[in-house]
Amino acid sequence: MIPAYHMNFCEFFKGDGSVKNFSCDTLPIMYKIEYFKSLSEREMKTTICQRCYYIRHCGAFKEISTSATEYESVISKIRPTQSVVLLVVDVIDMNGSIVPNLMDYIGANHPLIVVGNKADLLSPDCREYLGHVRDVLKSTCQSAGLSNIYKVTLASAKTGFGIERLISILFAFYKKKVDLYIVGTANAGKSSLFNALLASDYCKSSARNLIERATVSVWPGTTLNLLKFPIMRPSHRVHALRQIRLKQELAQKKIRKQMERIKKKEKGFYSWELKEDVNVTDIRTHFTKDLDEKGGAWGQAISAYCSKVDGSLEHENTRPIPEVYDADQYDQSYWTFDTPGVINPDQVLNLMTAKEMTFLTPTTMVVPRCLILKPHETLFVSGLFRLDSKECSSNMFLTVHSGPNIPIHVVTTREADHFYETHIGKEILGVPIGDKERLSKLPSLVAKKLTVLGEGEKVAAADIQLSSVGWVSVAVKKDMVGMLEVFGPGRKGIHLRRPALMRHYLQFKGKRIGNSSFYRTKPPGWVMAKKTY
């Protein structure tokens, strides 16, 4: 049975914690609130809602409307607390994934740790690219009005990169007796990071396997209330054991990487990925380990029997009652909270359907695509964004950093309107998808004028951030001014970023493809492939 409601009172419910009532025209199973009144406390603690069930097991999503006022009400509760705030930013959509007016909600007294998530999706342009990305992220956050930034770090909740480093940073705050609040916009990977921390040393070992993981999906707004787990107390012994484990794993990783490098070199093949293991430190004493080994019934089925009236025994096919999580057992603990994903009105993602969102969100390393844009030519990045080259006396070299499902096309500006009207809603432009009725719900493309001062044709001078899609880096001859009109739905999600995130675009640029505007792309990550870590 799949319950239709999911409530978060008295810690009875887990998952999205929603107190919303919803009905679904396409899902046949519906229950009323009376269903929950019939459950025992133990059953309620292990129950998830219909919405969570379909997201996790069926890939289906039921939207629940939550007003900006409700989001603001939850986030504002952080202000009076003694806490650290961890802001999760999507490095593919930096400007769009920074929480608008965050300081107004939480105040400026909380140490702010900024985590650039999805770092594994970035295609490196030089060996020092991570340091530059970190600097650009910090500058972007400061420009957005964020203050009291304690640390900026990069991570990938998906591959584990940077998670152990982040845990070490967070443990440094434990002596200050503070909670941790994870905040971020929808689809920044906030819940994925929560889950990574939940399964790590940062969560108390006794609670690690009892707490339901946060709902994770590509759709925005999937965390509707506060999920939490108790933070592990990093005693001297725990800290020492953790450091021993990390050093051992680092040594093993270097050996493994070296062996992989030798094998790939023999085959003439190089690849690169940001990936790290996130493990749990075994903090048991030798005495406890011995007891566990002696008392373990590995491979044995535990059965139960009941005595009948005639004296015979009858086998009962019973299952052990699962242990459940009780927050009252951790009333002296400090907590990590996963807050709702804030909907940023500047994000184009909010305008997309569930099907369209899957096209926008890359799942593997982005493969940059290089092209030349001549004066009075237009670049379409899907059907959502359009870049017109205006009064520029020389060509511009553009590099599109977006997922593989985002098509790009170059046409003359004179033909651009006709091209758009002919192909919008169809496969050639990718997203948006649908008929006239679907397209009528989207704002019209509105232009924003941008200028880029060139730093030479060998380096990108600036990026044009296209919300929820990626960005386009721009290279122009030194001291020349490139003028562009950039169109987006309702003028949303268009930002000029200096310096460019991946300045050395020539590392991506291969040979020109015939007489077209496009260049072949070198294998992503090849710059880093020979580096030993």
Question: Between helices 163-171 and 190-198, what is the axis angle to 10°?
Answer: 70
- pLDDT at position 183, please? 93
Is the pTM higher than 0.75?
yes
Measured from the Cβ of residue 32, the count of other Cβ atoms closer than 10 Å reads 10
Measured from the Cβ of residue 257, the count of other Cβ atoms closer than 10 Å reads 13
Instruction: Read off the pLDDT of residues 155-166 as tens digits, 9 standing for 90 and up.
Output: 999 999 999 999
- pLDDT at position 348, please? 92
**HSE toward the beta carbon, residue 54, CA cutoff 13 A:** 20
Average pLDDT, the chain: 80
| CATH architecture of structural domain 67-284+330-345 | 3-Layer(aba) Sandwich (3.40)
| Closest among 225, 242, 221, 217 to 167, alpha carbons compared | 242
> What is the spatial order of strands in the sheet that 227-230 belongs to?
149-154, 112-117, 83-90, 179-184, 335-338, 227-230
- pLDDT at position 323, please? 55
CA distances from 315 to 82, 113, 319, 320 (A): 55, 56, 12, 15
Q: Which residue has the tokens 């492939």?
A: 529
Contact 370, 398 (CB under 8 A): yes
Contact 366, 466 (CB under 8 A): no
- pLDDT at position 212, please? 57
| Closest among 13, 88, 90 to 51, alpha carbons compared | 13
Instruction: Read off the pLDDT of residues 234-264 as tens digits, 9 standing for 90 and up.
Output: 878 887 888 898 888 888 888 887 777 666 6
**Residue 76 or 285, more confident:** 76
Q: Domain locations in the chain?
A: 1-65, 67-284+330-345, 349-521
Contact 453, 479 (CB under 8 A): yes
Candidate ranges 20-34, 68-82, 480-494; pick with highest mean pLDDT: 480-494
Instruction: Read off the pLDDT of residues 267-326 as tens digits, 9 standing for 90 and up.
Output: 555 667 888 888 888 766 655 555 555 544 334 433 444 444 444 444 444 444 445 555
Res 27 pLDDT > 60 = no
Spatial separation of the C-alpha atoms in residues 183 and 194, rounded to whole Å: 10
